[in-house]
Structure 1
């Protein structure tokens, strides 16, 4: 009898194999980025696993990091696919990519993984402040290992809907990511120092996804992952399928975001070198300022309240600290009170 269920080996191998492949390819992409003076930023980290899926996340501090992460991911998938197809020919890999802005439009939420920690935590009665407090704790230097982070919001929902259209060849991407990648690709060096083939962009029309983007049809761009290059070239000739020019993708994405500003916005990164992604929309700046002011005022108010309660407790302790002599006197007075009020009633001579 085998030591594990038949389904366990491919999934366990996938988890471990992709972990190794992503780490290896990221290290290579990072080194190549530094050679051309592109800031790679922090490495991708595992967000979570869902059954036979692994989801990675990466903080972007420069729009070119999106392309660096994409190149590392595509190389990791290609290298692991060779091993997977050798051992499990019927299985394959598919990918999806999207970006989300925080804390406006989407949100990071935090949970304590320990029930004991939750019991000891004071219920503020204010979910916004409680989450901000945990966020502050999560990003502090002494990060609490009991905290678990998750992401919620419209952009997160859109990304998961796009994943329904991905295939081994099609790495489906969101409009915002397509726009950011196009800007990076147009400045990507072609020499051997970077040594990555520029991604090929395709468009498969607009699709309606339930529960996202107000029900409006969403444009679906995808990047060619080349799982079977020779067959794909022949098939593309039959379908007259050609990769898109960067000018066409850029023009469409900018127009689409502008015309659907109620549901999406031009992505931005503080201090980004590319002006297109450096401007913070006015209403976003107002929300950011409001959120910062709320956090600072509420935190200050609660700190003052805690200090006040602590001082009252100290005063009560000081007032209640009696000497042995005082304790003895109080005991005598209490005994006298009981003797006065709880003695047996006097009896008259006549009995009823």
Structure 2
């Protein structure tokens, strides 16, 4: 259902990461902030559409007098976060082949080799502070509020800011909350898409409580202030963006990748030396055996 909601130019890029209990986790590579906006919007529309489909079918069954119980009226919830590689986050590959998994190669070298030569049986996973933060953010989601990491909210707002001066009508600052292990315990600004933003009752309550819609510029300013703090747990980088703040970490990320490449090069050289040493050791054993078996000097058998 998500693919149907995604613009045609972005279809086919969404991949299943893993299933955790009754949760399905998906990943997608994004190159600019507009893609973040489009994928998040498509995901929320798909969730709404799925719930509406179940509700319609249940209603039709009840009207028809069907004796069977109604379909599952399951409610959905979700969240989105951005991770940046290879720093502060890192992709790891769990080898399907036992021979690869038990290799004595440097783990970074083994992981890089597995990434370069993907196998259908291998498992993909991710580690890093953005990942940890993202799971904390997603855990705060509810059926009404689709939670967003600050980076997703920033990308969403930056895209809208370049399109219109109108307030962001369906995004809310849900709360400021200290998330375990995130930003040194400081209150994290938790944004969310309000899936019930167009509900007449909710709109009336907002007007009565004089709750203004968020301005895209304010969201962007808040995000920039967070990212100026050295203790902030995440980086942001969209290589195709024209917005300087979204490409400003390019040199840092390239440097991190260079360090990984240098380590893997040294590890590969070490691996080759170990193989040569093993071959030399085997050759010495063969020579020793030949000497033991050599005939006596007098030529007797």
In the superposition, the TM-score normalised over structure 1's length comes to: 0.69
What is the aligned residue count? 282
The structure, 1 or 2, with the larger RCO (C-alpha pairs under 8 Å, 6+ apart) is 2
Q: Is the 8 A contact 1:199 1:223 kept in 2?
A: no
The 4+ residue runs of structure 1 with deviation greater than 6 A are 313-320, 329-333
Residue of structure 1 equivalent to 2:20: 50
1:186 aligned counterpart, secondary structure: helix
1:255 to 202, 212, 225: 225
1:99 to 57, 73, 82: 82
List per-residue Cα deviations over 1:286-318 (Å, max 9, x = no partner): 333212222233234434654x36975997899
Distance across 1 between alignment mates of 2:197 and 2:270: 58
In the superposition, the TM-score normalised over structure 2's length comes to: 0.79
Which structure would you say has the larger Rg? 1
How much is the aligned-residue C-alpha RMSD, in angstroms? Answer: 3.5
1:18-37 aligned at under 5 Å gives the runs: 21-26=1-6, 29-31=7-9
Unaligned runs of 5+ in 1: 1-20, 32-39, 139-143, 191-196, 323-328, 338-352
Whether 1:159 aligns to 2:134 is yes
Give the superposition deviation at 1:174: 0.8
2:137 aligned counterpart, secondary structure: helix
Distance across 1 between alignment mates of 2:90 and 2:208: 45
2:98 aligned counterpart, secondary structure: helix
1:130 to 95, 102, 110: 110
1:163 to 1:265, Cα distance in 2 relative to 1, 3 A: closer
Give the superposition deviation at 1:111: 0.9
Distance across 1 between alignment mates of 2:84 and 2:234: 10
1:232 to 202, 206, 209: 202
Q: Is the 8 A contact 2:91 2:126 kept in 1?
A: yes
Residue of structure 2 equivalent to 1:169: 144
Q: Is the 8 A contact 1:96 1:166 kept in 2?
A: yes
Q: Is the 8 A contact 2:108 2:264 kept in 1?
A: no
Q: Is the 8 A contact 2:91 2:127 kept in 1?
A: yes
2:192 aligned counterpart, secondary structure: strand
Q: Is the 8 A contact 2:51 2:74 kept in 1?
A: no
Q: Is the 8 A contact 1:85 1:91 kept in 2?
A: no
